[in-house]
């Protein structure tokens, strides 16, 4: 039967008879925090020596357990092993956590200590901190990847064993109001002192029951939004009214936050309890640029809310209504071209959007089509050329469809574009022609095709 488990940091040092005085002094110096003494005594040979009469602890176990930050730092700089285990399987991090030395914990973690190390009884450092109610240490461990679901030999998680104050941390409720206020006000330092994997998606207890991301998005706290997303904030989290953070950002016209949320997977067509989409929010408040951004990422302005109103209908001006409809048709065409979807191309190719260009990258339907990997690409390009889509249009990088086709080594497309009037000597933003791009990438066959049409050699 396994012996009872306990943390033990000795209050006296009993080095076996025959050991050098220097060995006894090193352990005493680590226990007492005597940095000068430790610096004088520690060597590569004894930095990981063992207290053979006790738990077989190393000097680092002693220094960590007694919270001797400067000694710990010096030992680590001189080769102390953060993974060394005593006879109970504890590493120095267990000791520091058990006694609540948060700064030492941070230092050990910085030097590679495993936040999920297990002793002989499967206790992790988080178990230690939770049992002793060491709130600050619990937060530090969670911020460095400690797993709160690990069970010890008795099947208990840190939460199961947690002292009352630590229980709030492990339940994601510790100082929740302060965390939410930090997100709302943009207090980055306060946010990062409290944020863990367990509270990043907490909901306010009252009001709209917003998450930190809802508040940061609504108040345009760009840096806070970025930090929350980096730490696992849920872009799909809903508040009391079914709004996701994207609704908040769009309602107030926060372009950068909207873009950030979309890049992290936010659903542009998410509906709240009243079937309002983010586009409804942006359109109803004349957030013109945000409307364009949403439409460029697939927002559907024809979706109806609970009042049977579309985003186009709720736009307060005819100008915005017309713009949204135009951009919706244009983006539908670009997406059909990207996928070389002939049925959808025929559906969406209309005179008013035939040369529609993406508002942010400047690509037209041909740019998208020649760049795609789809097998029907050639047929789609032929169709667009027959409909007189501008073959020499340049995007924001001043690239023509021909230059893209050349770089991709789409041989049939190169030939097709040139036969329909593509300018073979057009220059991009770097002053390079299609031939430059082919030569740079070693596309010999593409170079030959271009040269056969009399292109100027680089």
In a domain? residue 29: yes
Mean pLDDT rounded to a whole number for the chain? 92
Structural domain count of the chain: 1
User: Per-residue confidence at 447, pLDDT binned at 50, 70, 90?
Assistant: confident
In a domain? residue 426: no
Share of the chain above pLDDT 90, in %: 82
Structure tokens at 118: 């297990």
What pLDDT does 408 receive? 87
Task: Provide mean pLDDT across the span 40-47.
Answer: 94
Task: Provide mean pLDDT across the span 409-430.
Answer: 90
Q: What is the pLDDT of residues 278-306, one digit of tens each?
A: 999 999 999 999 999 999 999 999 999 99
What pLDDT does 380 receive? 95
What pLDDT does 6 receive? 54
Task: Provide mean pLDDT across the span 345-367.
Answer: 94
Mean pLDDT lowest for which of 38-52, 200-214, 438-452? Answer: 438-452
What pLDDT does 22 receive? 64
Task: Provide mean pLDDT across the span 321-349.
Answer: 95
CATH number at residue 134: 1.25.40.20
Residue 152 confidence (pLDDT) above 70: yes
Q: What is the pLDDT of residues 215-230, one digit of tens each?
A: 999 999 999 999 999 9
Compute the radius of gyration of the chain from its Cα atoms: 32
In a domain? residue 435: no
9 vs 11, residue with greater confidence:
9
452 vs 396, residue with greater confidence:
396
What pLDDT does 12 receive? 40
User: Per-residue confidence at 14, pLDDT binned at 50, 70, 90?
Assistant: very low
In a domain? residue 392: no
**This prediction's pTM:** 0.84
d(CA 250, CA 269): 12
Give the range of the structural domain holding residue 125, as residue numbers without chain letter: 21-170
Task: Provide mean pLDDT across the span 189-202.
Answer: 97
Note whether 362 and 390 are within 8 A (CB): no
Q: What is the pLDDT of residues 170-187, one digit of tens each?
A: 999 999 999 999 999 999
Structure tokens at 76: 């680590």
User: Per-residue confidence at 23, pLDDT binned at 50, 70, 90?
Assistant: confident
What pLDDT does 275 receive? 98
What angle is formed at CA 188 by the lines to CA 136 and CA 197, rounded to 5 degrees? Answer: 50
User: Per-residue confidence at 456, pLDDT binned at 50, 70, 90?
Assistant: low
Task: Provide mean pLDDT across the span 244-255.
Answer: 99
In a domain? residue 332: no
Share of the chain above pLDDT 70, in %: 94
SS3 of the chain: the string is: CCCCCCCCCCCCCCCCCCCCHHHHHHHHHHHHCCHHHHHHHCCCCCCCCCCCCCCCCCHHHHHHHCCCHHHHHHHHHCCCCCCCCCCCCCCHHHHHHHCCCHHHHHHHHHCCCCCCCCCCCCCCHHHHHHHCCCHHHHHHHHHCCCCCCCCCCCCCCHHHHCCHHHHHHHCCCCCHHHHHHHHHHCCHHHHHHHCCCCCCCCCCCCCCCCCHHHHHHHCCCHHHHHHHHHCCCCCCCCCCCCCCHHHHHHHCCCHHHHHHHHHCCCCCCCCCCCCCCHHHHHHHCCCHHHHHHHHHCCCCCCCCCCCCCCHHHHCCCHHHHHHHHHHHHHHHHHHHHHCCCHHHHHHHCCCCCCCCCCCCCCCCHHHHHHHCCCCCHHHHHHHHHHCCCCCCCCCCCCCCHHHHHHHCCCHHHHHHHHHCCCCCCCCCCCCCCHHHHHHHHCCHHHHHHHHHCCCCCC
In a domain? residue 141: yes
What pLDDT does 19 receive? 46
d(CA 345, CA 350): 9
Mean pLDDT lowest for which of 155-159, 237-241, 328-332, 423-427? Answer: 423-427
User: Per-residue confidence at 335, pLDDT binned at 50, 70, 90?
Assistant: very high
Residue 135 confidence (pLDDT) above 90: yes
């Amino acid at each position: 039967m396994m012996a009872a488990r306990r943390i033990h940091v000795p209050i006296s040092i009993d080095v076996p008879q025959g050991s050098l005085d220097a060995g006894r002094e090193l352990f005493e110096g680590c226990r007492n925090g005597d940095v000068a003494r430790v610096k004088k005594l520690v060597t590569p040979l004894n930095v990981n020596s063992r207290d053979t009469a006790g738990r077989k602890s190393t000097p680092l176990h002693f220094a960590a357990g007694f919270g001797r930050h400067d000694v710990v730092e010096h030992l680590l700089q001189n080769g102390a092993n953060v993974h060394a285990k005593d006879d109970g399987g504890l590493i120095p991090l267990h000791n520091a956590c058990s006694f609540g030395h948060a700064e030492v914990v941070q230092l050990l973690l910085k030097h590679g200590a495993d936040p999920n190390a297990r002793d002989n009884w499967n206790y992790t450092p988080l178990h230690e901190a939770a049992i002793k109610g060491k709130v600050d240490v619990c937060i530090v461990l969670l911020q460095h990847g400690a797993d709160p679901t690990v069970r010890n030999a008795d099947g208990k998680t840190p939460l199961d064993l947690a002292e009352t104050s630590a229980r709030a941390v492990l339940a994601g409720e510790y100082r929740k109001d302060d965390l939410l206020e930090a997100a709302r006000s943009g207090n980055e330092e306060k946010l990062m002192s409290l944020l863990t994997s367990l509270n990043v998606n907490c909901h306010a207890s009252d009001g709209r029951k917003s998450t930190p991301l809802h508040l940061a998005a609504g108040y345009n706290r760009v840096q806070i939004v970025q930090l929350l997303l980096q730490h696992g904030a849920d872009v799909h989290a809903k508040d009391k009214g079914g709004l996701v953070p994207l609704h908040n950002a769009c309602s107030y016209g926060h372009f950068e936050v909207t873009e950030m949320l979309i890049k992290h997977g936010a659903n542009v067509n998410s509906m709240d309890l009243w079937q309002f989409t983010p586009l409804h929010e942006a359109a109803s408040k004349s957030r013109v640029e945000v409307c364009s951004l949403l439409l460029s990422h697939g927002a559907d302005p024809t979706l109806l809310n609970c009042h049977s109103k579309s985003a186009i209908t709720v736009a307060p001006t005819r100008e915005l209504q017309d713009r949204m409809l135009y951009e919706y048709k244009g983006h539908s065409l670009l997406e059909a071209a990207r996928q070389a979807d002939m049925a959808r191309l025929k559906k969406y190719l209309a005179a008013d959007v035939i040369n529609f260009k993406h508002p942010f990258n400047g690509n037209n339907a041909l740019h998208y089509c020649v760049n795609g990997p789809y097998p029907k690409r050639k047929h789609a390009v032929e169709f667009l050329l027959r409909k007189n889509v501008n073959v020499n249009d340049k995007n924001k990088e001043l690239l023509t469809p021909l230059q893209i086709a050349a770089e991709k080594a789409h041989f049939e497309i190169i030939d097709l574009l040139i036969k329909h009037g593509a300018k073979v000597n057009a220059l991009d933003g770097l002053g390079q022609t299609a031939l430059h791009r082919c030569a740079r990438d070693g596309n010999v066959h593409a170079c030959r095709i271009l040269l056969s049409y009399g292109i100027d050699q680089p």
